[in-house]
Amino acid sequence: MKRLAGFLAAAWLLGCGLGVALADSFDIFEYTPPQGWKKSNLQGGVMLALQTKESFGSIVLYASVPAGNNPQQNFQGEWKRLVVEGLGLSGEPTTEMGPPNGDYQNLAGGIAASQDGLNYVVLLSTFTGNGRVASILYITTDERHFDLFDRFNSSLKLNKPKAAQAPPVNVARPPTHTTANQRTIATPTTRFNDGWVSTIENGFVRVAKGEVVVLLHYGMPLPENMWVTGNEQERVGYYWNRLVAPRYRVDELKVFKNDVCYYCLYFGEGSATEVSTGTRKHVALYIGFDKGLGYAIQVVAPSFAAFQKEFPNIEAVGRMYGYNKFAVKATDLVGTWKESSSVAGQYYNSITGAYAGMNAVSSAHSFTFNRDGTYTSTHAGASGFVGSQQFYSQKYQGRMTLNNWQMSLTNRHNNRTEVFEAYFEMTGAGPVLHLIQVDARGIHYRLVRE
């Protein structure tokens, strides 16, 4: 068995709260950044990183998300979300319970892995409390960083989450951003082969087929007390009162009741009368939660039979978020789009337990698209064992062409032309550009405008 205890030990001081001066904050975290480490804002997190010719280290703090009160279940859920799905890893992590930090209970674990010839380990540390779970990833290629991690951990403090501000009851949809990015999408409508038609509107994506209409609402906060209770009736009722009740008077709201669950279903439905017209409808509401927000899917059908024909089960309603997908036009792309990520791994001899070195990989990708159809992309990072790391920095320049849902980029690696599946996902803050390489689908860029 590979031993992770040496690496895990560096994280158990999380939340000790030694009373040192706190220099920065993010979400529910207060912390002192290590001197000389570069801070980068990620989508839903903050990364602190130091990269030299000899070593690499990073600390990634993620925004807290709604959760129950079981630290083990929360760790498993965050491991699945951040490591299995986020990093594409598999396997059961070695875990250990750490000391509490105020209202929060610490649980951490790690796993050694090998991928594309790179050996590395991922350590995830989670904190459960106040109806939420907060997570941190620790990465290093140098054992000397452990003392630095200890000092960082000593400055860490976890606060109670701020209460969410609920919109007025008579508002039919959540407040949204009206950024220039959102207004300048050239193709705000998508016609899918199965008959559904998606259209970007203010506050949601409208998806329709015949007389059945689905509204994919952007993220909307839930009051803090409801994160703690986790009551299906209260959560569904909260969103129903703000998104549905202003337009429909329901006969009886029937809310789905979960058994013991981690990924619970939040779903309500009922026969209703449209207030403005007096027309009878069947209305349903599904809510998925991610990064502290609730994403509501509202279905309006002429009858229960029409609803059931399109949605034979609750999960079918949840899958409708896959219709938040829009074609990319050249005018949408002008400017710079970026993403960044990092991961590292440490190995111990499986027989002796002796330290056997550590690998790490970090990357940053940037695409700049110009009005004349040319593009520039830069890809930088580092990988390999400490002491012999390979650093790379690649830059490509060429032409970009769009054809339906595909983007072609010339003059890539070895002067090849690479083809990507390209589409926009719309969010309340604007579009996310997805580029998936057709002949190597593991290469998936998720880019946001700079």
pLDDT tens, 379-415?
887 655 555 556 667 899 999 999 989 999 999 989 9
Q: Is residue 354 domain-shared with residue 237, that is, in the same domain?
A: no
Average pLDDT (344-365) is 55
- CATH value at residue 268: 3.40.1000.10
pLDDT in tens, 4-51: 444 444 444 333 333 344 478 998 999 888 888 888 776 677 888 877
In a domain, 164, yes or no: no
pLDDT in tens, 411-446: 998 999 999 999 999 988 889 999 999 999 889 999
Tokens of 405: 């849902």
Q: Alpha-carbon distance 239 to 204, whole Å?
A: 14
Is 165 a member of any domain? no
Q: Is the pLDDT of residue 232 over 60?
A: yes
User: Is the separation of the CB atoms in 189 and 197 below 8 Å?
Assistant: yes
More confident residue, 346 or 325: 325
CATH number, domain containing residue 424: 2.40.128
Backbone angles phi, psi at 237, to 5 degrees: -60, -35
Distance separating alpha carbons of residues 263 and 210, to the nearest angstrom? 32
Question: Do 185 and 200 form a contact (C-beta atoms < 8 A)?
Answer: yes
Question: What total of structural domains would you count in the chain?
Answer: 3
341 and 232 together in one domain: no
Mean pLDDT, range 262-268, rounded to an integer: 86
The answer on 73 and 14 residing in a single domain is yes
Asked if residue 281 has pLDDT above 90, the reply is yes
Domain boundary at 323, 351, 369, which? 323
Tell me what the pLDDT averaged over the chain comes to.
79
Residue 352 lies inside a defined structural domain of this protein: yes
Strands of the sheet containing 29-31, edge to edge, are 24-26, 29-31, 157-158
174 lies in some domain: no
Collect all residues with Cβ–Cβ distance below 8 Å to 352 and sequence separation of at least 6: none
With respect to residue 391, please indicate whether it lies within any of the assigned structural domains.
yes
Residues 124 and 147 in one domain: yes
Q: List the domain range (segments joined by +) for residue 66.
A: 5-158
β-pair partners for 24: 31
**Which of 323, 357, 389 is the C-terminal boundary of a domain?**
323
DSSP 250: E
Statement to judge: residues 317 and 349 lie in one domain:
no
pTM > 0.85: no
- In tens, the pLDDT along 135-163 reads 988 776 666 776 777 677 667 889 988 75
Which of 139, 158, 177 is the last residue in one of the domains?
Answer: 158
Whole-number pLDDT of residue 20: 41
pLDDT score of 375 more than 90: yes
The answer on 150 and 13 residing in a single domain is yes
Q: Are residues 197 and 309 in the same domain?
A: yes
116 with 136, same domain: the answer is yes
Does residue 172 carry a pLDDT above 70? no
pLDDT band, very low/low/confident/very high, at 179 (cuts 50, 70, 90): very low
Residues constituting the chain: 450
CB 297 within 8 A of CB 311: no
> Is 201 within a domain?
yes
Higher pLDDT, 291 or 235: 235
Q: What angle do CA 421, 425, 427 make, to 5 degrees?
A: 160
Statement to judge: residues 204 and 133 lie in one domain: no
Whether 397 contacts 374, CB under 8 Å: yes
Same domain, 317 and 337: no
The SS3 of residue 138 is: strand
Q: Are residues 217 and 250 in the same domain?
A: yes
For residues 132 and 265, membership in a common domain is answered with: no
Within a domain: 215: yes
The larger pLDDT score, comparing residue 178 to residue 297, is at 297
C-alpha dist (Å) from residue 267 to 194, 235, 239, 282: 25, 9, 10, 14
- For residue 166, being part of any structural domain is answered with no
